[in-house]
Structure 1
Amino acid sequence: MAFQGPFFKPSLPFTGPIYGGLRDGLMVIVTGSVLHNCTRFQVDFQCGSTQVPRPDIAFHFNPRFDDGDCVVWNSFERGSWQHEERQYTMPFHKGRPFEIRFLVQSSSFMVAVNGKHYLEFKHRVPISRVDTIGVSGDLEVASISFQGPTAPDIWTARSAAMTNAAFGPGLFYNQSAAFPPGPYFQPQTYSVPYQASLFGGLFPSKSITVSGAVPPSAVRFHINLKVGRDIAFHLNPRFNEKAIVRNSQFNGHWGPEERHLPGGMPLHLGQTFTIWILCELQCFRVAVNGQHQFDYNHRAPNLQQIGQLEIEGDILLSGVQA
Protein backbone atom coordinates (compact mmCIF):
# COMPACT_ATOMS: atom_id res chain seq x y z
CA MET A 1 0.00 0.00 0.00
CA ALA A 2 1.33 3.45 -0.86
CA PHE A 3 2.13 5.77 2.02
CA GLN A 4 -0.88 7.75 3.16
CA GLY A 5 -0.45 10.75 5.41
CA PRO A 6 -2.90 11.52 8.21
CA PHE A 7 -5.94 13.78 8.03
CA PHE A 8 -5.57 16.41 10.76
CA LYS A 9 -8.41 18.29 12.46
CA PRO A 10 -11.00 17.55 9.73
CA SER A 11 -14.26 19.46 9.74
CA LEU A 12 -17.24 17.20 10.36
CA PRO A 13 -19.03 15.61 8.63
CA PHE A 14 -15.89 14.35 6.90
CA THR A 15 -15.25 11.90 4.08
CA GLY A 16 -11.75 11.13 2.86
CA PRO A 17 -10.13 8.65 0.50
CA ILE A 18 -8.36 5.49 1.63
CA TYR A 19 -5.66 5.32 -1.02
CA GLY A 20 -5.27 1.78 -2.31
CA GLY A 21 -8.36 0.65 -0.38
CA LEU A 22 -8.43 -1.75 2.54
CA ARG A 23 -6.18 -4.77 2.90
CA ASP A 24 -5.35 -7.35 5.50
CA GLY A 25 -3.16 -5.79 8.20
CA LEU A 26 -4.07 -2.15 7.58
CA MET A 27 -4.87 -0.19 10.73
CA VAL A 28 -6.87 3.05 10.80
CA ILE A 29 -6.53 5.18 13.94
CA VAL A 30 -9.02 7.91 14.86
CA THR A 31 -8.15 10.22 17.77
CA GLY A 32 -10.01 13.16 19.24
CA SER A 33 -12.40 14.20 21.98
CA VAL A 34 -16.11 13.58 22.57
CA LEU A 35 -17.99 16.86 22.90
CA HIS A 36 -19.77 17.56 26.19
CA ASN A 37 -23.15 17.70 24.40
CA CYS A 38 -22.59 14.56 22.33
CA THR A 39 -25.64 12.44 21.52
CA ARG A 40 -23.98 10.11 19.00
CA PHE A 41 -21.23 9.86 16.40
CA GLN A 42 -20.18 7.40 13.71
CA VAL A 43 -17.22 6.11 11.73
CA ASP A 44 -18.07 4.52 8.38
CA PHE A 45 -15.93 2.46 6.00
CA GLN A 46 -17.66 3.22 2.71
CA CYS A 47 -17.74 1.93 -0.86
CA GLY A 48 -17.54 5.34 -2.48
CA SER A 49 -18.10 8.94 -1.40
CA THR A 50 -21.25 9.98 -3.26
CA GLN A 51 -24.07 11.62 -1.33
CA VAL A 52 -26.83 10.41 -3.66
CA PRO A 53 -27.32 7.53 -3.94
CA ARG A 54 -25.97 6.67 -0.52
CA PRO A 55 -22.96 4.37 -0.90
CA ASP A 56 -22.76 0.92 0.62
CA ILE A 57 -21.10 0.89 4.05
CA ALA A 58 -19.00 -2.14 4.84
CA PHE A 59 -18.71 -1.22 8.53
CA HIS A 60 -20.75 1.35 10.46
CA PHE A 61 -19.47 2.07 14.00
CA ASN A 62 -21.96 4.20 15.94
CA PRO A 63 -21.69 5.07 19.68
CA ARG A 64 -24.99 6.45 21.02
CA PHE A 65 -25.39 8.34 24.28
CA ASP A 66 -29.08 8.98 23.50
CA ASP A 67 -29.99 5.31 23.13
CA GLY A 68 -29.09 3.73 26.47
CA ASP A 69 -25.34 4.45 26.25
CA CYS A 70 -24.67 1.76 23.64
CA VAL A 71 -22.49 1.19 20.62
CA VAL A 72 -24.21 -0.01 17.44
CA TRP A 73 -22.44 -1.57 14.46
CA ASN A 74 -23.89 -2.63 11.14
CA SER A 75 -23.52 -2.61 7.36
CA PHE A 76 -25.56 -0.74 4.75
CA GLU A 77 -26.12 -2.50 1.42
CA ARG A 78 -28.27 -1.75 -1.63
CA GLY A 79 -30.10 1.04 0.15
CA SER A 80 -30.94 -0.85 3.35
CA TRP A 81 -29.42 -1.36 6.77
CA GLN A 82 -28.60 -4.98 7.53
CA HIS A 83 -28.62 -6.93 10.80
CA GLU A 84 -27.69 -4.59 13.66
CA GLU A 85 -25.39 -5.59 16.48
CA ARG A 86 -24.97 -3.58 19.66
CA GLN A 87 -23.27 -3.56 23.03
CA TYR A 88 -24.29 -1.67 26.17
CA THR A 89 -20.79 -1.19 27.51
CA MET A 90 -19.97 2.41 26.56
CA PRO A 91 -16.19 2.94 26.28
CA PHE A 92 -16.47 6.69 25.50
CA HIS A 93 -17.06 9.57 27.91
CA LYS A 94 -18.40 13.02 27.17
CA GLY A 95 -15.71 15.68 27.33
CA ARG A 96 -12.90 13.09 27.27
CA PRO A 97 -10.25 12.24 24.65
CA PHE A 98 -10.33 8.88 22.90
CA GLU A 99 -8.45 6.69 20.46
CA ILE A 100 -10.13 4.11 18.21
CA ARG A 101 -8.04 1.57 16.29
CA PHE A 102 -9.65 -0.35 13.43
CA LEU A 103 -7.53 -3.32 12.39
CA VAL A 104 -8.51 -4.83 9.04
CA GLN A 105 -8.14 -8.59 8.89
CA SER A 106 -8.99 -11.00 6.09
CA SER A 107 -12.24 -12.07 7.77
CA SER A 108 -13.19 -9.19 10.07
CA PHE A 109 -12.63 -5.74 11.50
CA MET A 110 -11.08 -5.74 14.98
CA VAL A 111 -11.78 -2.63 17.06
CA ALA A 112 -9.87 -1.37 20.08
CA VAL A 113 -11.01 1.68 22.07
CA ASN A 114 -8.56 3.40 24.40
CA GLY A 115 -6.21 0.45 24.26
CA LYS A 116 -8.76 -2.28 24.99
CA HIS A 117 -10.34 -4.75 22.59
CA TYR A 118 -13.98 -3.82 22.11
CA LEU A 119 -15.50 -5.81 19.24
CA GLU A 120 -14.97 -7.95 16.18
CA PHE A 121 -17.17 -7.43 13.11
CA LYS A 122 -17.18 -10.16 10.48
CA HIS A 123 -17.03 -8.85 6.93
CA ARG A 124 -20.31 -8.72 5.08
CA VAL A 125 -19.05 -6.59 2.18
CA PRO A 126 -15.75 -7.41 0.42
CA ILE A 127 -13.08 -5.11 1.80
CA SER A 128 -11.76 -4.65 -1.74
CA ARG A 129 -14.77 -2.39 -2.37
CA VAL A 130 -13.96 0.02 0.49
CA ASP A 131 -12.16 3.19 -0.58
CA THR A 132 -13.52 5.93 1.72
CA ILE A 133 -13.71 6.70 5.44
CA GLY A 134 -16.49 8.87 6.83
CA VAL A 135 -16.70 10.45 10.29
CA SER A 136 -19.59 12.53 11.61
CA GLY A 137 -21.32 13.48 14.83
CA ASP A 138 -20.60 15.35 18.04
CA LEU A 139 -16.82 15.06 18.03
CA GLU A 140 -13.64 17.03 17.74
CA VAL A 141 -11.34 14.83 15.65
CA ALA A 142 -7.62 15.42 16.09
CA SER A 143 -6.38 12.97 13.46
CA ILE A 144 -7.27 10.07 11.20
CA SER A 145 -4.11 8.13 10.42
CA PHE A 146 -3.09 4.91 8.71
CA GLN A 147 -0.55 2.21 9.48
CA GLY A 148 0.30 -0.37 6.86
CA PRO A 149 0.92 -4.06 7.54
CA THR A 150 4.04 -4.52 9.63
CA ALA A 151 6.80 -6.93 8.67
CA PRO A 152 7.09 -9.95 11.01
CA ASP A 153 10.62 -9.10 12.16
CA ILE A 154 9.53 -5.61 13.18
CA TRP A 155 6.56 -7.07 15.09
CA THR A 156 8.98 -9.36 16.93
CA ALA A 157 11.25 -6.44 17.78
CA ARG A 158 8.38 -4.36 19.08
CA SER A 159 7.07 -7.23 21.15
CA ALA A 160 10.50 -7.77 22.67
CA ALA A 161 10.67 -4.07 23.48
CA MET A 162 7.60 -4.49 25.67
CA THR A 163 9.86 -5.71 28.46
CA ASN A 164 11.96 -2.55 28.34
CA ALA A 165 11.20 -0.57 31.48
CA ALA A 166 11.33 2.65 29.47
CA PHE A 167 7.99 1.74 27.90
CA GLY A 168 6.28 1.35 31.26
CA PRO A 169 3.86 -1.44 32.16
CA GLY A 170 0.88 -2.18 29.99
CA LEU A 171 1.98 -0.50 26.78
CA PHE A 172 0.80 -3.49 24.81
CA TYR A 173 -2.47 -4.91 26.04
CA ASN A 174 -4.12 -8.29 26.23
CA GLN A 175 -1.84 -10.27 23.96
CA SER A 176 -3.99 -13.36 24.61
CA ALA A 177 -6.79 -11.75 22.62
CA ALA A 178 -7.17 -12.14 18.87
CA PHE A 179 -5.02 -9.10 18.14
CA PRO A 180 -1.42 -9.19 16.92
CA PRO A 181 0.95 -8.10 19.69
CA GLY A 182 2.70 -5.25 17.96
CA PRO A 183 0.78 -2.09 17.22
CA TYR A 184 -1.85 -1.74 19.96
CA PHE A 185 -1.05 0.94 22.49
CA GLN A 186 -2.96 2.20 25.49
CA PRO A 187 -3.75 5.86 24.93
CA GLN A 188 -4.51 8.02 27.94
CA THR A 189 -2.28 5.74 30.06
CA TYR A 190 1.07 6.52 28.44
CA SER A 191 3.36 7.39 31.29
CA VAL A 192 5.48 10.52 31.00
CA PRO A 193 8.47 10.61 30.71
CA TYR A 194 7.99 8.36 27.68
CA GLN A 195 10.74 6.67 25.67
CA ALA A 196 10.64 4.40 22.64
CA SER A 197 13.16 2.97 20.22
CA LEU A 198 12.99 4.05 16.58
CA PHE A 199 13.80 0.81 14.80
CA GLY A 200 15.88 1.51 11.71
CA GLY A 201 16.38 5.18 12.59
CA LEU A 202 14.95 7.97 10.49
CA PHE A 203 14.95 8.51 6.73
CA PRO A 204 13.13 10.70 4.20
CA SER A 205 9.34 10.05 4.26
CA LYS A 206 9.46 8.63 7.81
CA SER A 207 7.02 10.41 10.11
CA ILE A 208 6.29 10.55 13.82
CA THR A 209 2.89 11.55 15.22
CA VAL A 210 2.35 12.60 18.84
CA SER A 211 -1.19 13.21 20.12
CA GLY A 212 -2.37 14.37 23.51
CA ALA A 213 -3.73 17.22 25.55
CA VAL A 214 -2.13 20.20 27.24
CA PRO A 215 -3.08 20.53 30.93
CA PRO A 216 -4.50 23.94 31.88
CA SER A 217 -1.51 24.56 34.17
CA ALA A 218 1.19 23.41 31.72
CA VAL A 219 4.45 25.33 31.49
CA ARG A 220 6.41 23.32 28.92
CA PHE A 221 7.10 19.89 27.47
CA HIS A 222 9.55 18.55 24.92
CA ILE A 223 9.94 15.90 22.23
CA ASN A 224 13.51 14.73 21.64
CA LEU A 225 14.87 12.66 18.77
CA LYS A 226 18.15 11.28 20.07
CA VAL A 227 21.40 9.74 18.88
CA GLY A 228 22.70 8.07 22.02
CA ARG A 229 22.98 10.89 24.54
CA ASP A 230 22.98 13.56 21.85
CA ILE A 231 19.75 15.26 20.78
CA ALA A 232 19.38 15.55 17.01
CA PHE A 233 16.09 17.45 17.31
CA HIS A 234 14.66 19.09 20.44
CA LEU A 235 11.08 20.38 20.04
CA ASN A 236 10.14 22.35 23.15
CA PRO A 237 6.76 24.13 23.45
CA ARG A 238 6.94 26.75 26.22
CA PHE A 239 3.57 28.12 27.23
CA ASN A 240 4.98 30.74 29.57
CA GLU A 241 6.93 32.16 26.61
CA LYS A 242 4.32 31.41 23.90
CA ALA A 243 7.05 29.77 21.85
CA ILE A 244 8.13 26.45 20.41
CA VAL A 245 11.90 26.33 20.83
CA ARG A 246 13.88 24.10 18.46
CA ASN A 247 17.50 23.10 18.97
CA SER A 248 20.08 20.31 18.95
CA GLN A 249 22.57 19.22 21.57
CA PHE A 250 25.85 17.46 20.80
CA ASN A 251 28.56 16.54 23.30
CA GLY A 252 26.60 18.33 26.03
CA HIS A 253 26.43 21.66 24.19
CA TRP A 254 23.30 23.30 22.80
CA GLY A 255 23.37 24.93 19.39
CA PRO A 256 21.56 28.13 18.33
CA GLU A 257 17.86 28.20 19.19
CA GLU A 258 15.12 28.63 16.60
CA ARG A 259 11.82 30.17 17.73
CA HIS A 260 10.09 31.86 14.79
CA LEU A 261 6.41 30.89 14.38
CA PRO A 262 4.78 32.71 11.44
CA GLY A 263 1.25 32.11 12.74
CA GLY A 264 1.93 32.43 16.45
CA MET A 265 1.76 29.71 19.11
CA PRO A 266 -0.42 26.84 17.75
CA LEU A 267 -0.70 24.92 21.04
CA HIS A 268 -3.07 26.08 23.76
CA LEU A 269 -3.62 25.30 27.43
CA GLY A 270 -6.46 22.88 28.08
CA GLN A 271 -6.75 21.73 24.46
CA THR A 272 -5.97 18.55 22.53
CA PHE A 273 -3.34 18.51 19.78
CA THR A 274 -1.56 16.39 17.21
CA ILE A 275 2.06 17.08 16.26
CA TRP A 276 3.31 15.50 13.02
CA ILE A 277 7.08 15.42 12.42
CA LEU A 278 7.99 14.46 8.85
CA CYS A 279 11.61 13.63 8.08
CA GLU A 280 12.75 14.92 4.70
CA LEU A 281 16.15 14.87 3.03
CA GLN A 282 17.25 18.30 4.28
CA CYS A 283 15.00 18.96 7.25
CA PHE A 284 12.23 17.99 9.63
CA ARG A 285 8.87 19.45 8.66
CA VAL A 286 6.52 20.01 11.59
CA ALA A 287 2.75 20.40 11.49
CA VAL A 288 0.48 21.05 14.48
CA ASN A 289 -3.20 20.16 14.15
CA GLY A 290 -2.81 19.84 10.41
CA GLN A 291 -1.14 23.21 9.84
CA HIS A 292 2.51 23.44 8.78
CA GLN A 293 4.46 25.45 11.37
CA PHE A 294 8.17 25.34 10.53
CA ASP A 295 11.07 23.41 9.04
CA TYR A 296 14.17 22.47 11.03
CA ASN A 297 17.30 21.77 8.98
CA HIS A 298 19.12 18.60 10.00
CA ARG A 299 22.15 19.09 12.22
CA ALA A 300 22.82 15.38 12.84
CA PRO A 301 25.07 13.92 10.12
CA ASN A 302 23.41 10.48 9.97
CA LEU A 303 19.64 10.25 10.19
CA GLN A 304 19.67 6.46 10.53
CA GLN A 305 21.52 6.82 13.85
CA ILE A 306 18.54 8.66 15.37
CA GLY A 307 17.27 5.73 17.38
CA GLN A 308 15.36 7.07 20.37
CA LEU A 309 12.15 9.07 20.90
CA GLU A 310 11.75 10.85 24.23
CA ILE A 311 8.76 12.86 25.50
CA GLU A 312 8.81 14.67 28.85
CA GLY A 313 7.09 17.51 30.65
CA ASP A 314 3.58 18.89 31.08
CA ILE A 315 1.60 16.72 28.69
CA LEU A 316 -1.24 14.18 28.79
CA LEU A 317 -0.04 11.70 26.17
CA SER A 318 -2.78 9.83 24.29
CA GLY A 319 -1.06 8.51 21.18
CA VAL A 320 2.35 7.93 19.63
CA GLN A 321 3.01 6.61 16.13
CA ALA A 322 6.59 6.14 15.04
Structure 2
Amino acid sequence: MTGDTRIPFTGSIHGGLQEGKIISISGRILPGIDRFHVNLQCGSRTNADIALQINPRYDSHPGYVVTNTFQNGKWGSEERKSNSPFPAGSTFSLSITATQQSFQLTVNGSHFMEYRHRIPFHQVDTISVVGKVEISNITFQNPMPAFSAQPVFAAQPVFAPQKSMISGGLKPGRTITIQGTVHPQATRSDPNTNEAKL
Protein backbone atom coordinates (compact mmCIF):
# COMPACT_ATOMS: atom_id res chain seq x y z
CA MET A 1 0.00 0.00 0.00
CA THR A 2 1.44 3.38 -1.01
CA GLY A 3 0.24 6.97 -1.07
CA ASP A 4 -1.15 9.04 1.80
CA THR A 5 -3.55 6.93 3.84
CA ARG A 6 -6.53 8.19 5.78
CA ILE A 7 -6.17 7.77 9.53
CA PRO A 8 -7.62 5.87 11.31
CA PHE A 9 -6.58 3.04 8.99
CA THR A 10 -7.43 -0.65 9.28
CA GLY A 11 -6.31 -3.21 6.70
CA SER A 12 -5.56 -6.88 6.20
CA ILE A 13 -2.04 -8.25 6.48
CA HIS A 14 -1.63 -9.94 3.12
CA GLY A 15 -0.92 -13.64 3.59
CA GLY A 16 -1.28 -13.41 7.38
CA LEU A 17 1.61 -13.24 9.81
CA GLN A 18 4.32 -15.88 9.75
CA GLU A 19 7.82 -16.27 11.10
CA GLY A 20 10.24 -13.97 9.29
CA LYS A 21 7.57 -11.70 7.82
CA ILE A 22 8.37 -7.98 7.96
CA ILE A 23 5.79 -5.21 8.15
CA SER A 24 7.20 -1.77 7.25
CA ILE A 25 5.34 1.48 7.92
CA SER A 26 6.59 4.92 6.93
CA GLY A 27 5.01 8.28 7.46
CA ARG A 28 5.13 11.60 9.29
CA ILE A 29 4.19 12.48 12.86
CA LEU A 30 2.16 15.70 12.92
CA PRO A 31 3.09 18.59 15.24
CA GLY A 32 0.98 18.89 18.37
CA ILE A 33 0.41 15.14 18.64
CA ASP A 34 -0.42 13.64 22.03
CA ARG A 35 -0.15 9.96 21.04
CA PHE A 36 -0.66 7.50 18.19
CA HIS A 37 -0.67 3.74 17.94
CA VAL A 38 -0.01 0.88 15.58
CA ASN A 39 -1.87 -2.34 16.34
CA LEU A 40 -1.27 -5.88 15.09
CA GLN A 41 -4.70 -7.42 15.64
CA CYS A 42 -6.48 -10.76 15.46
CA GLY A 43 -9.32 -9.58 13.21
CA SER A 44 -10.82 -6.17 12.45
CA ARG A 45 -13.86 -6.24 14.72
CA THR A 46 -14.26 -3.90 17.69
CA ASN A 47 -12.63 -5.37 20.81
CA ALA A 48 -10.51 -7.79 18.72
CA ASP A 49 -7.48 -9.19 20.50
CA ILE A 50 -4.35 -7.09 19.87
CA ALA A 51 -1.14 -9.10 19.85
CA LEU A 52 0.99 -5.92 19.82
CA GLN A 53 0.18 -2.27 20.32
CA ILE A 54 3.01 0.21 19.71
CA ASN A 55 1.93 3.47 21.37
CA PRO A 56 4.28 6.50 21.24
CA ARG A 57 3.16 9.13 23.78
CA TYR A 58 4.04 12.81 24.07
CA ASP A 59 2.66 13.86 27.49
CA SER A 60 6.18 14.27 28.88
CA HIS A 61 9.56 15.31 27.50
CA PRO A 62 11.21 13.41 26.03
CA GLY A 63 8.42 11.22 24.71
CA TYR A 64 8.22 7.52 25.45
CA VAL A 65 6.77 4.39 23.85
CA VAL A 66 4.33 1.98 25.51
CA THR A 67 3.84 -1.55 24.13
CA ASN A 68 1.12 -3.89 25.31
CA THR A 69 -1.30 -6.72 24.45
CA PHE A 70 -5.11 -6.67 24.61
CA GLN A 71 -6.58 -10.12 25.17
CA ASN A 72 -10.01 -11.35 26.26
CA GLY A 73 -11.19 -7.77 26.80
CA LYS A 74 -8.28 -6.78 29.07
CA TRP A 75 -4.95 -4.98 28.65
CA GLY A 76 -1.87 -6.74 29.95
CA SER A 77 1.07 -5.18 31.76
CA GLU A 78 2.69 -2.28 29.89
CA GLU A 79 6.26 -2.30 28.69
CA ARG A 80 7.75 1.21 28.44
CA LYS A 81 10.76 2.53 26.55
CA SER A 82 12.00 6.05 27.25
CA ASN A 83 13.70 8.33 24.70
CA SER A 84 11.16 7.76 21.96
CA PRO A 85 12.57 7.57 18.41
CA PHE A 86 9.32 9.16 17.15
CA PRO A 87 9.74 12.94 17.67
CA ALA A 88 6.73 15.10 16.82
CA GLY A 89 6.94 16.74 13.41
CA SER A 90 9.39 14.18 12.03
CA THR A 91 9.20 11.41 9.45
CA PHE A 92 9.65 7.83 10.58
CA SER A 93 10.14 4.31 9.29
CA LEU A 94 8.99 1.45 11.51
CA SER A 95 9.69 -2.21 10.73
CA ILE A 96 8.16 -5.08 12.70
CA THR A 97 9.63 -8.55 12.19
CA ALA A 98 7.84 -11.63 13.52
CA THR A 99 10.19 -14.21 15.00
CA GLN A 100 9.35 -17.44 16.79
CA GLN A 101 9.65 -15.83 20.24
CA SER A 102 8.97 -12.13 19.71
CA PHE A 103 8.34 -9.10 17.55
CA GLN A 104 11.57 -7.26 16.66
CA LEU A 105 11.02 -3.50 16.24
CA THR A 106 13.34 -1.36 14.13
CA VAL A 107 12.89 2.42 13.86
CA ASN A 108 14.67 4.47 11.20
CA GLY A 109 17.06 1.59 10.51
CA SER A 110 18.10 0.99 14.14
CA HIS A 111 16.96 -1.78 16.47
CA PHE A 112 14.54 -0.31 19.00
CA MET A 113 13.17 -3.15 21.10
CA GLU A 114 11.97 -6.73 21.33
CA TYR A 115 8.42 -7.59 22.43
CA ARG A 116 7.86 -11.20 23.43
CA HIS A 117 4.67 -12.84 22.18
CA ARG A 118 1.70 -13.05 24.53
CA ILE A 119 -0.68 -14.21 21.76
CA PRO A 120 0.45 -16.69 19.07
CA PHE A 121 1.62 -14.44 16.23
CA HIS A 122 0.02 -16.61 13.53
CA GLN A 123 -3.41 -15.41 14.78
CA VAL A 124 -2.59 -11.84 13.63
CA ASP A 125 -4.20 -10.85 10.32
CA THR A 126 -4.96 -7.12 10.63
CA ILE A 127 -3.00 -3.88 11.08
CA SER A 128 -4.47 -0.59 12.26
CA VAL A 129 -3.00 2.89 12.74
CA VAL A 130 -4.75 5.61 14.78
CA GLY A 131 -3.62 9.13 15.76
CA LYS A 132 -2.19 12.36 14.34
CA VAL A 133 0.10 10.79 11.78
CA GLU A 134 0.26 10.68 7.99
CA ILE A 135 1.07 7.24 6.60
CA SER A 136 2.73 7.17 3.18
CA ASN A 137 3.58 3.48 2.88
CA ILE A 138 2.75 0.10 4.44
CA THR A 139 4.49 -2.93 2.95
CA PHE A 140 4.61 -6.64 3.76
CA GLN A 141 7.75 -8.64 3.03
CA ASN A 142 7.41 -12.41 3.18
CA PRO A 143 10.34 -14.51 4.41
CA MET A 144 12.62 -15.93 1.74
CA PRO A 145 11.71 -19.56 1.00
CA ALA A 146 14.18 -22.13 2.21
CA PHE A 147 15.65 -24.11 -0.65
CA SER A 148 17.08 -27.49 0.13
CA ALA A 149 20.40 -28.37 -1.45
CA GLN A 150 19.38 -30.94 -4.02
CA PRO A 151 21.52 -32.08 -6.91
CA VAL A 152 20.52 -30.55 -10.25
CA PHE A 153 21.65 -33.68 -12.03
CA ALA A 154 23.53 -36.84 -11.22
CA ALA A 155 26.24 -37.94 -13.62
CA GLN A 156 29.04 -40.40 -13.90
CA PRO A 157 32.53 -38.89 -13.53
CA VAL A 158 33.44 -36.97 -16.66
CA PHE A 159 36.39 -34.93 -17.85
CA ALA A 160 35.95 -31.18 -18.27
CA PRO A 161 34.54 -29.39 -20.14
CA GLN A 162 31.03 -30.43 -19.08
CA LYS A 163 27.83 -28.46 -19.65
CA SER A 164 24.30 -29.09 -18.40
CA MET A 165 21.03 -27.19 -18.06
CA ILE A 166 20.03 -26.02 -14.57
CA SER A 167 16.63 -27.61 -13.98
CA GLY A 168 14.11 -24.90 -12.96
CA GLY A 169 16.65 -22.12 -13.48
CA LEU A 170 18.59 -20.15 -10.89
CA LYS A 171 16.52 -18.68 -8.02
CA PRO A 172 17.34 -16.69 -4.87
CA GLY A 173 18.54 -19.02 -2.14
CA ARG A 174 19.37 -21.87 -4.52
CA THR A 175 22.81 -23.41 -4.20
CA ILE A 176 24.90 -24.92 -6.97
CA THR A 177 27.56 -27.35 -5.78
CA ILE A 178 30.28 -28.53 -8.16
CA GLN A 179 32.23 -31.57 -7.08
CA GLY A 180 35.09 -33.20 -8.88
CA THR A 181 38.69 -34.27 -8.88
CA VAL A 182 41.45 -32.28 -10.54
CA HIS A 183 43.18 -34.34 -13.20
CA PRO A 184 46.66 -35.27 -11.91
CA GLN A 185 48.37 -33.77 -15.00
CA ALA A 186 46.38 -30.49 -14.93
CA THR A 187 48.41 -27.27 -14.60
CA ARG A 188 45.49 -24.90 -13.98
CA SER A 189 41.71 -24.74 -13.91
CA ASP A 190 39.49 -22.10 -15.56
CA PRO A 191 36.42 -21.48 -13.33
CA ASN A 192 34.57 -19.72 -16.16
CA THR A 193 34.71 -22.72 -18.47
CA ASN A 194 35.15 -25.37 -15.73
CA GLU A 195 38.08 -26.65 -17.79
CA ALA A 196 41.27 -28.11 -16.47
CA LYS A 197 44.28 -27.34 -18.67
CA LEU A 198 46.68 -30.15 -19.36
Normalised TM-score (structure 1)? 0.44
Which residues of 2 match residues 183-198 of structure 1 at below 5 A? none
8 A Cα contact 1:73 1:84, kept in partner: yes
Q: Note if 1:121 corresponds to 2:115.
A: yes
Q: Which residue in 2 is equivalent to 1:86?
A: 80
| 1:231-285 per-position Cα deviation (integer Å, ceiling 9, x unaligned) | xxxxxxxxxxxxxxxxxxxxxxxxxxxxxxxxxxxxxxxxxxxxxxxxxxxxxxx
SS at match of 2:89: coil
**Structure 2 residue runs without a partner (length 5+):** 148-170, 172-198
Q: List aligned pairs for 1:70-109, cutoff 5 A.
A: 70-109=64-103
- Amino acid of the structure 1 residue aligned with 2:22: M
- 1:1-322 matches, within 5 Å, as 6-51=1-46, 54-68=47-61, 69-151=63-145
SS at match of 1:128: helix
Mean Cα deviation higher: 89-98 or 56-65: 89-98
Q: Distance in 2 between matches of 1:67 and 1:29?
A: 27
CA distance in 2, matches of 1:30, 1:117: 15
Shift of 1:19: 2.5
Letter in 1 for 2:35: R
* Contact kept? 1:8, 1:144, Cα under 8 Å: no
CA contact (8 A) 1:56 1:77 kept: yes
Distance 1:58 1:67 in 2: 26
Q: Which runs of 4+ in 1 moved over 4 A?
A: none
Q: Which has the higher contact order (CA 8 A, sep 6+)?
A: 2
AA paired with 1:66?
Answer: D
CA distance in 2, matches of 1:8, 1:80: 34
- Distance in 2, Cα, partners of 1:66 & 1:74: 18
Number of residue pairs the alignment of both structures matches: 148
**Counterpart-to-counterpart distance in 1, 2:70 and 2:2:** 25
Instruction: Tell me the amino acid that sits aligned with residue 91 of structure 1.
Output: P
Aligned partner letter, 1:103: T
Q: Which letter does structure 2 place at the counterpart of 1:42?
A: H
- Per the TM alignment, residue 150 of structure 1 is displaced from its structure 2 partner at its CA by 2.4
| Identity value in percent | 40
What whole-Å deviation, never above 9, does each CA across 1:41-83 have from its counterpart, x for those lacking one? 10000011012xx100000000001145110000000111001
User: CA RMSD, aligned part only?
Assistant: 1.8
Mapped partners of 1:8, 1:107: distance in 2: 33
Equivalent-residue separation in structure 2 for 1:94 and 1:152 (angstroms): 41
- Does the Cα contact within 8 Å between 2:14 and 2:140 map onto a contact in 1? no
Structure 1 residue identity aligned to 2:50: I
State the distance in 2 between where 1:8 and 1:134 align.
16
- Post-superposition offset of 1:106: 1.1
Quote the offset at 1:38 in angstroms: 1.2
Structure having the larger proportion of residues in helix: 1
Report the CA distance between 1:95 and its aligned residue: 1.4
